[in-house]
Amino acid sequence: MPPKYRSTPRSTQATISTANAAVDGTGTMTEIMAGTANGTEFDYSAVGARGNTTDGWIRFFRSTDNGTTKRLVPGGEVRVTKRDVLGDRPRWAWVWRPPGGITLKDANDKLYIATENAETFDVFSQGADLTA
């Protein structure tokens, strides 16, 4: 089998706001990237609050069966800290890079994101499709 190489950059954008305290793969989540037939390398997600935040978590999940079963990605929890946006104080933001990287192997392999608290976050994700 010939080696695969990065061929087409992928960018996705999503907004999350529905509270989901579950860590068992249940509850409301938003798909942030799906693989392609030859695979997709996921690089990072930049997550930014739209307003004030309370202490909580942003969690990343993966499904290899088209969303039927979702599992928390190892290292896929990002701590959100309380922040009141006043004057020139910046909103909460974080860039998450998965430890060890993630390659979505096919179109059934997907990444999801959820917020523990009912607060609104914009999510920008980057990766690249693979070509054989």
Q: Kindly state the tokens that stand for 116.
A: 């523990």
Q: Is residue 11 part of a domain?
A: no
Nearest partner of 60 among 49, 73, 70, judged by Cα: 73
Q: Kindly state the tokens that stand for 22.
A: 């579950």
Q: Is residue 132 part of a domain?
A: no
Q: What is the pLDDT of residue 1?
A: 66
Q: Is residue 15 part of a domain?
A: no
Q: Is residue 111 part of a domain?
A: yes
Q: Is residue 29 part of a domain?
A: yes
Specify the number of domains making up the chain: 1
Q: Is residue 7 part of a domain?
A: no
Q: Is residue 128 part of a domain?
A: no
Domain extent at residue 93: 20-122
Q: What is the mean pLDDT of residues 17-40?
A: 97
Q: How confident is the model at residue 28 (pLDDT cuts 50, 70, 90)?
A: very high
d(CA 2, CA 60): 31
